[in-house]
Copies of this chain bind each other. A is one copy, B any other.
Amino acid sequence: MQEESVKTAEEIFKEFREHSVTEFFKKNSQMLGYAGKVRSLTTVVHEYVTNSLDACEEAGILPEISVEIKQVGEEKFRITVADNGPGVPKSHIGKVLGSVLKGTKFHRNMQQRGQQGLGGSGCTLYAQITTGKPVHAESNTGKEAYACDVSIDIKENKPIVTNLVALPVEGHTGLKVTGEFGEMKYERSEHGALEYIRRTAIANPHAHLVLIEPDGNTVDFPRSTNTMPKRPKPIKPHPLGLNVADLVDYAKASTARKVSSFLLESFSRVTYDKISELKNIAGIDFDKRPQDLTWEEAEKLISAFKKVKWLAPEMDALSTIGASQIETAMKNILNPEFVSVVERKPKVFRGGIPFVVEAGIAYGGNAGTKTSQGVSGNIMRFANKVPLLFDSGSCAITEAVNEIDWKRYGIKDFDQEPISVFVNVSSVYVPYSGVGKQAIAQEEEIIDEIKLAVMEAARKLQVHLSNKRNRNLQESRYKTIMRYVDQLSSDLADITKMSKEEIRKSLVKLIESKYSQLFKDTLASSEKEGQQAEEASNGEVS
């Protein structure tokens, strides 16, 4: 069995090495979204813009963000993103832009666009491996202002900050980052930076966004509202959203002296009443130190959690775009003949993680995607108001829209109709399927909820389409009949010796009264259908 080249375990493991997470992502930068030239450029814009929006939101500032893209060589681009956010303190700029998996967002139970502390540092890494240059940052927090260069010590996953100079603390606060990146291509396609910014503007009507394209062309997306969106806020985890490992971790980190006070302090919806209920069910000592909670005891607690009736998680932690904003945006951009938007009530997945789905459908006008064969339906995907342009094949939103039986809603073939479906999923924790955060993992509860939202919007579309067909039918009948009126009037005038004009008028009156009734019926039935649709959807919601 053994060959010449056989190696023993000892020989094999001589080659054992450790490597840093940065080395890992250097080798696998496609996992961060750096796959393909167009996508790589969009990824950089996406990461910086996302960070700017989050920073402005947290500081309560209406965002002004400008993105400038300049070609500086073959497949090389200089990208600058400047915002009016709170800036980054000097002490943190290295970690923010120069080390992977470090940040303010990862550990917070709060809806934000960024979650992982990977975005900004990922850009620095990509600049470094494609042009060898650090990124340049200028920041003003209102208390200190400075400029510096940031790169990454890849083996150690540590930031290297150089050329630090002080700047005058005047003018507005904000952060401006400039990087030079290779292996990129600028394209005005569905996957390009322009489309990314356009969709970001749709989902963030309170933001003012400006894109300066490589040819110098400036595209301005002014804000359409001066109202800040409802601020998302950190919430305590809901007991039903915990797994055993989480509970043990929280218990270990707790400073409470008893399990009962630990539960009261750490989790949402836990009251003294609930504690007494749990005591009866769980069969563990609620007076012991939470730090001493064993896995088995935590398991018992988790299974007790599932037997108690809880108030739903706090939903006001979630910030949506808003149905009217979505409707306005879709009308402005797609100029469709019909729009219907649905904002669902928040739901939970995995037991206790709140999320909420907004869905819109536009039909006709510029809805859908132009193709060589004509037009095809398309899906605009968003997570926490961030457009998802890639990996649509593995996304819960795509899955949900594809699972819908569109024929039931008057759409014979989704791929051959002028229809755009808009879906935004907001959550404290969006389960992305990959590190590049371009697709939502196919969690059943999320898919189901997206389907319900889109179907609710689709029912209104169906009513519209069936009315339209009805009207078309009635109109063509009406026109056909009207064509005979003249001839009939003269014939009747001949027979009855009445005035032809008199006869014509009364015939027209007759026909029009008949058809106005029909049109009214159509309208009435339309309203009725609309109501039924809504009732049906409410039925499904409950």
Contact = CB atoms under 8 A, between A and B. Distances in A.
Contacts of A249: 154
Contacts of A130: 243-245
Contact of A103 (B17, B101, B431): B17
A467 interface: no
A391 interface: yes
Contact of A21 (B9, B21, B31, B61): B21
A287 interface: no
A433 B431 contact: no
Interface string A5-44: 1111110110111111101101110110001100000000
A143 B31 CA distance: 40
How many copies are assembled? 2
Interface in A68-98: 86-89, 91-92, 95
A132 B89 contact: no
A95 B8 CA distance: 18
A438 to B, nearest CB: 9
B244 A132 contact: yes
Interface stretch (A52-60, A405-413, A505-513, A515-523): A52-60
A542 B102 CA distance: 49
Interface stretch (A104-112, A333-341, A471-479): A104-112
A442 B37 CA distance: 12
A101 B15 contact: no
A434 interface: yes
Interface residues of A, number: 91
Given A142-B8, A231-B5, A442-B35, A27 B106 contact: yes
Contact of A89 (B9, B103, B441): B9
B173 A9 contact: yes
Contact of A16 (B59, B102, B143, B433): B102
Contacts of A35: 431, 433, 441-443
A299 B9 contact: no
Nearest to A233: B5
Contact of A432 (B28, B132, B394): B28
Contacts of A205: none
A212 interface: no
Interface in A222-258: 228, 231, 243-246, 248-249
A272 interface: no
Contacts of A433: 30-31, 35, 391, 434
A143 B8 CA distance: 9
A263 to B, nearest CB: 18
Interface string A400-436: 0000000000000000000000000000010111110
A3 interface: yes
Interface string A122-158: 0000001111110000010111000000000010000
A421 to B, nearest CB: 17
Contacts of A435: 28, 31, 434-435
A379 to B, nearest CB: 13
B101 A19 contact: yes
Contacts of A299: 132
A1 interface: yes
Contacts of A393: 391-394, 398
Contacts of A88: 9, 13
Nearest to A6: B60
Contacts of A245: 26, 128-130, 132
Interface in A171-208: 173
A93 to B, nearest CB: 10
A443 B394 CA distance: 17
A3 B132 contact: no
Nearest to A431: B30
Contacts of A2: 60-61
Contacts of A128: 245
A150 to B, nearest CB: 15
Contacts of A369: none
A298 interface: yes
B19 A117 contact: yes
27 contacts: A2-B61, A5-B60, A5-B231, A6-B61, A7-B59, A9-B86, A10-B141, A13-B88, A13-B92, A13-B104, A15-B104, A17-B103, A17-B107, A18-B95, A23-B101, A24-B116, A28-B116, A31-B435, A35-B443, A36-B442, A36-B443, A130-B245, A132-B244, A154-B249, A393-B393, A394-B394, A433-B434
Given A19-B117, A23-B106, A129-B244, 5 more contacts: A9-B142, A13-B89, A13-B91, A21-B21, A128-B245
